[in-house]
Structure 1
Amino acid sequence: MRKPAIDLDDICVAAPCPVKWESMDGDERVRFCSLCELNVYNVSKMTRKEATEFLESEAMQAGQVCVQLHRRPDGTLLTRDCPVGRRLADAFKKRAVAAVAFIVALLNGSPAIAENDREIKQPQEKKQVPVYPGMICPPPVNKKNENKNETEKVTGNKTRETGKETGKETAKDQPRPDTTARDAFLKAQELENQRKPAEAIKEYERSVEALRDKSLPFDPVFKKKVAKAYAALLRKQKQKSRAAAIEKEFSKP
């Protein structure tokens, strides 16, 4: 059996998107973001097999994919076929049924309204699952087949389907995905592969500094990925205490 080129558990959002999923056009599985002119895929609506196959085909071809990830509080990725994912889907269906019953009862003037109202509110008391929308961090690739364009800065001005410049400009005051941490991390890895540790450290530090911005909903898995890679390089450079401090800072979800 062929081993998947992508480890689904290694996928993470590296550039948080300011556009809300609810404001995009599409269905529960894929929607179009007019800001970046890219499709955004909801991984929680895919099985692990579907998500892995999708990312293998899309990410490798274009080098950039926008997704919406749902995680447990411990950071575990949720998919349609995982136990928690199924419970969330079932809870949604129950809320939908309860909502329909409430509307029907309201139209009929039925005394069952109060009971149905309670049914609708109960699931909302459950702890919300963290959602992370935005561009994923490209997974590690075979250096022999590495495409130089995979590490270039993503501006959101390229279409996923063609990879060509669209020529469209967005308003200057329009919020855009912050790719600083992502770009610096990819550049750091590129420099590290070129055996330029001093320059790589500068880029890792730039990525870490961007990740410290509390106003941006960075995926904790991406933060840990950056910290782990940075710490590994620092240890190679005999900077053990600094490496430990970085890992400790980003060890919590």
Structure 2
Amino acid sequence: MKPAPPPLTIGKVCPMSWSSMQGDSKKRYCEHCRLHVHNLSTMSGRERERFVRESGGRACIAYRLNADGTLITPPTRWQQATRVFREPKAAAMAALSTLLPFLFSACSQTEQLPPTLGVPMPPPTTDTQDGKPAHPPKGG
């Protein structure tokens, strides 16, 4: 689906350039007109709709166009999430990195040892006078 043309058209072009204005990528202040200029190309579809509705079509705006005359807009969340799959090399790397752990897990073998059963021996007690064990260890 192709993006739509700009929701508003510029009636009177401002002589100031966007780069000469102070502000951020969405809104800048024009010293010449003494108004805020809003960049439609950085707004999401919902933001543009709300802006057009609230401004009543009377606002200073700026936007960038594609070669076919459609408005350049930021990518949607879905476009950002699926961007990696549009490039064959990136898609192959994503698939390989997802499958690699599963492929190599079949090669690993873990040997399970039977549990060791028994009663633990109490620690040897020492004679307090000379530091030697009071009872010699069995089997020694």
Kindly indicate whether structure 1 or structure 2 has the higher relative contact order, using CA contacts under 8 Å at least 6 residues apart: 1
TM tier, smaller: 0.3 to 0.5
Bigger CA radius of gyration = 2
> What is the TM-score with the length of structure 2 in the denominator?
0.48
Question: Relative to total residues, which structure has the larger helix share, 1 or 2?
Answer: 1
> What is the TM-score with the length of structure 1 in the denominator?
0.27
